[in-house]
Amino acid sequence: MASLPKRIIKETERLASDPVPGISAEPHEDNLRYFAVTIEGPEESPYENGVFELELYLPDDYPMEAPKVRFLTRIYHPNIDRLGRICLDVLKNNWSPALQIRTVLLSIQALLASPNPNDPLANDVAEEWIKNEELAISKAKEWTKLYAGKR
């Protein structure tokens, strides 16, 4: 395995020494480009009191290419599909090499705080969300209790 770029080492160190509130990210022992991530559901969102597990992978081209991130914990959210893939511009066309693991995870946390069912690439959850927001929010809360309970 090629040596790890300095930037990745620095980012990893800072994630540990100066963690983002409500977010943890730890590299795997045997693959330092692969991170086990948890994000706490933001207060006053349907995901409040939930702890969501994600995985993050830094491709060989990182930071020229965005990290690959997805939810492992099931979540009912208009911008996250059933495979846990996240519809977020900074992970796709709006990636910039000046962004970091922490900024990406902060963006995902913000996405939990403000779901956007009007995103043009959203899935069927988004349709349900637009049709009946109240129902969708209660379903999101239910799923949070069901799948994202604190351990």
Partner 1 sequence: MSTYEEEHGLSRENSEDARSASVDRRETRSQFQELFQTFGNNNSEEDVDNSMLLLLLSQMIPASLQQEWMEQMEQSDKKGCSESFIDSLPRIPASKIKEDDSCPICCCTYKEDDHPLVAELPHCNHKFDLECISVWLSKSTSCPLCRDDVMSHKPGIDTSQVELEEDWGMFG
Q: Using CB under 8 A, which residues numbered 25 to 44 contact partner 1?
A: 34
Name the DSSP class of 96.
Answer: -
Binding flag, residue 92, partner 1 (CB under 8 A): yes
Q: Shortest CA distance to 47 belongs to which of 76, 86, 82?
A: 76
Q: 48 with 121: CB under 8 angstroms?
A: no
- Taking the least distance from each CB to partner 1, the nearer of 85 and 139 is 85
Structure-token match 């963690």, residue found: 19
Rounded to a whole number of angstroms, the minimum distance from the CB of residue 77 to partner 1 is 17
Contact region for partner 1 (CB under 8 A) — 35-43, 61-69, 109-117, 143-151? 61-69
1 forms part of the interface with partner 1 (CB under 8 A): no
87 included as an active-site residue: yes
7 binds partner 1 (CB under 8 A): yes
Q: Please name the residues in contact with 94: beta carbons below 8 A apart, sequence gap of 6 or more.
A: none
CA distance 27 to 15: 10
| Residue 55 binds to partner 1 (criterion: CB under 8 A) | yes
149 makes contact with partner 1 (CB under 8 A)? no
Report the run of H or E that residue 40 belongs to, with start and end: strand 34-40
Active site residues: 87
